[in-house]
Structure 1
Amino acid sequence: MGFDPRFSVLVSGYSFLESPRWHDDHLWLSDFYTHQVIRVDGQGRVEKIADVPQQPSGMGWLPDGRLLVVSMRDRKLLRREADGRLVTHADLSPIADGSVNDMVVDAQGRAYVGNFGFDLMGGGTPQTATLARVDPDGSVHAAAEGLYFPNGSMITPDGQTLIVAETMGNRISAFDIQPDGQLGPRRDWAAWGPLPAMTDVPSVLGALKAAPDGATLDAEGAVWFADAVGHRVVRMAPGGEILESISTGDQGAFACTLGGPDGRTLFICVAPDFLEHARQATREAAIWTTRVAVPGAGRP
């Protein structure tokens, strides 16, 4: 297909872009296989912020403005100090049974961090995962268990609800956030199919009607998510009604966020696929943008 005219290309030529964040009038991104965190201004000018040798992913900021970034392969959360040094904020390996991935940081500086639950890229058998909570002092706690590949995570503007996209669960889950950061029981924010049998990755992917990857909230309480098996981004209402679906054609969509000066630019991380062996050797990932009616809200 030809390039859809509703999209513009902000940046291209990267390996696999993930965890887009709009912060301080810039789009911040992790590029998995060049191991760098970058930020991009509205004209597409790029600045490298950090090197994360063990593969960067989710990002967020402490109340004092310091960046937290996931280091996937060694299952750590890193903190960028004022002088630019990266130091270990927390070691998630006691909780994470697979590579650590996306996260969201609340207004108190608590990070809710997901992980794969198993060795996805190495052909491991699918397993559910435990969501971690990292408190501002770096202490690590199990926040929720039995999640089907917890991925894009969001916090509502009032700070009281955590919403977690479960990429392999045919669902998005919600949790009440207690004052101390502990989570109440899991409930369905939306569900659109049965929980897959965790037998093997191809079977799980084949059982998914949509695979919500990176995600973001808007001011009407809807979630935009990248559908990792559907070559599209979806705007969904609580309960599961699809309000809008935008095809990304022959490119896969793996994360999205809302930002820009008015919060109405949807930034989409696209690549031909998510396979590590294919993405490491090529530079085919890009950020596409399109305009939407409702601005972003909440966190990240």
Structure 2
Amino acid sequence: MANKEVREIFSGGAFFEGPRWRDGTWWVSDFYRHTVSRITSDGAETVLFEVEHQPSGMGWLPDGSLVVVSMKDQRLLRFADGATSTLADLSAHSGGFLNDLVIDEGGRIFVGDFGFDLMGGGDLRTATLKRVDPDGSVTVVADDLYFPNGSVITPDGSTLIVGETLGNRYTAFDLAADGTLSNRRVWAQFAPTPTGKTTEEVLGQLVVAPDGCSLDADGHLWAADAVGGRAVRVSPGGEIVDEIPAPDGLGVYACQLGGDDGRTLLLCSAPDFYEHLRHDKREAVLLAAEVDVPHAGRP
């Protein structure tokens, strides 16, 4: 594991999530500033719009419109022509705040949720993965997931991989042309599935807490480790073959490969993720490091 130089691109955020690379710039959500922004590689920010109920994951539909998670009211928002509208209401299918998403080539959106009241210290409950079709209809496509979070789709569109942040693992599914998931299996297991119920118990049993992630051309995942203060490169099966630690005092909660050659890994970093500690602070930063293998797949 060679040491990689980490540089700061942007500072002054509250808590960044959902990073994406598109049209030559980075796109990010900021939970507690309630903003969705574009940020250039040299650190110039343009705020595009605000999401009252807290933005998270994002992606683009085939028509080029942007979809963003509205976490607390459990909706997907569509942003087009300078205006936002509700694409889908997932509140009937969600046990906690909505989370990250990935969109397939046909415009089907796969999105998870917390499953329980994380910020309020509620007991752990599993959650579902939902599919939102282009007509806005919602279908639960997988259940019993431990905090389904960052997800990717392989370049051939045949496999969806979802991180279970509180499950010490990544889970894979075969993805059919109609959006059906099948052949559920463990893609990477870092430690046994936690057995605790409280947030404190579960966090203490995590070895890797997969958060936002990005697939590379070798079929490996770069994953933010939400309890380890690092991004890790994971091979199929779960071996950690590389890592990039955050500067002291910072965690890493999402990452994404991008840049002109797909070899820049953007890291969303902050001291922690707790709303009561982050909402009025401006200590989150975007960091970047160069890696050897470029981006592949979705997002």
Query: Per the shorter chain, which TM-score range?
Result: over 0.9
SS, match of residue 244 in structure 1: strand
SS, match of residue 203 in structure 1: helix
Shift in Å, 1:192 = 1.8
Q: Distance in 2 between matches of 1:99 and 1:111?
A: 16
- Which structure 2 residues correspond to residues 71-150 of structure 1 after superposition, within 5 A? 71-81=70-80, 83-150=81-148
SS, match of residue 197 in structure 2: coil
Give 1:19's aligned residue: 18
Unaligned runs of 5+ in 2: none
Q: Is the contact made by 1:133 and 1:143 (CA closer than 8 Å) also made in structure 2? A: yes
Equivalenced residue count is 296
Q: Is the contact made by 2:4 and 2:244 (CA closer than 8 Å) also made in structure 1? A: no
Q: Distance in 2 between matches of 1:198 and 1:96?
A: 21
Is structure 2 residue 45 aligned with structure 1 residue 46? yes
Q: Distance in 1 between matches of 2:236 and 2:280?
A: 39
TM-score, length basis structure 2: 0.97
Give 1:62's aligned residue: 61
Give 1:162's aligned residue: 160
Q: Is the contact made by 1:32 and 1:55 (CA closer than 8 Å) also made in structure 2? A: yes
Q: Is the contact made by 2:172 and 2:185 (CA closer than 8 Å) also made in structure 1? A: yes
Give 2:242's aligned residue: 244
215-224 vs 241-250, which moves further? 241-250
- Which structure 2 residues correspond to residues 175-194 of structure 1 after superposition, within 5 A? 175-194=173-192
Give 1:260's aligned residue: 259
Give 2:272's aligned residue: 273
- What are the superposed Cα offsets for residues 21-63 of structure 1, whole Å, 9 maximum, x if unpaired? 0111110000001101001112211111111000000000000
Q: Is the contact made by 2:60 and 2:67 (CA closer than 8 Å) also made in structure 1? A: yes
Q: Distance in 1 between matches of 2:73 and 2:184?
A: 28
SS, match of residue 184 in structure 1: strand
- What are the superposed Cα offsets for residues 217-256 of structure 1, whole Å, 9 maximum, x if unpaired? 0000000001000011100000011110121132100000
Shift in Å, 1:185 = 3.2
- Which structure 2 residues correspond to residues 224-235 of structure 1 after superposition, within 5 A? 224-235=222-233
Shift in Å, 1:198 = 4.2
Moved over 6 A (4+): none
Whichever residue aligns with residue 28 of structure 1, its letter is W
- What are the superposed Cα offsets for residues 138-160 of structure 1, whole Å, 9 maximum, x if unpaired? 10000100000000000000011
Q: Distance in 1 between matches of 2:180 and 2:93?
A: 16
Q: Is the contact made by 2:4 and 2:289 (CA closer than 8 Å) also made in structure 1? A: no
RMSD (Å) for aligned C-alpha atoms: 1.0
Q: Distance in 2 between matches of 1:24 and 1:198?
A: 43
Q: Is the contact made by 1:266 and 1:289 (CA closer than 8 Å) also made in structure 2? A: yes
Shift in Å, 1:84 = 1.2
186-195 vs 222-231, which moves further? 186-195
Percent sequence identity is 56
Whichever residue aligns with residue 123 of structure 1, its letter is G
Q: Distance in 1 between matches of 2:4 and 2:102?
A: 32
Give 1:174's aligned residue: 172
Give 1:32's aligned residue: 31
Q: Is the contact made by 1:127 and 1:198 (CA closer than 8 Å) also made in structure 2? A: no
SS, match of residue 182 in structure 2: coil
Is structure 2 residue 193 aligned with structure 1 residue 195? yes
Whichever residue aligns with residue 257 of structure 2, its letter is L
SS, match of residue 87 in structure 2: strand
Q: Is the contact made by 2:194 and 2:206 (CA closer than 8 Å) also made in structure 1? A: yes
In structure 2, relative to structure 1, the CA distance for the partners of 1:36 and 1:138 (3 Å cut) is same
Give 2:286's aligned residue: 287
Unaligned runs of 5+ in 1: none
195-204 vs 14-23, which moves further? 195-204
Whichever residue aligns with residue 120 of structure 1, its letter is L
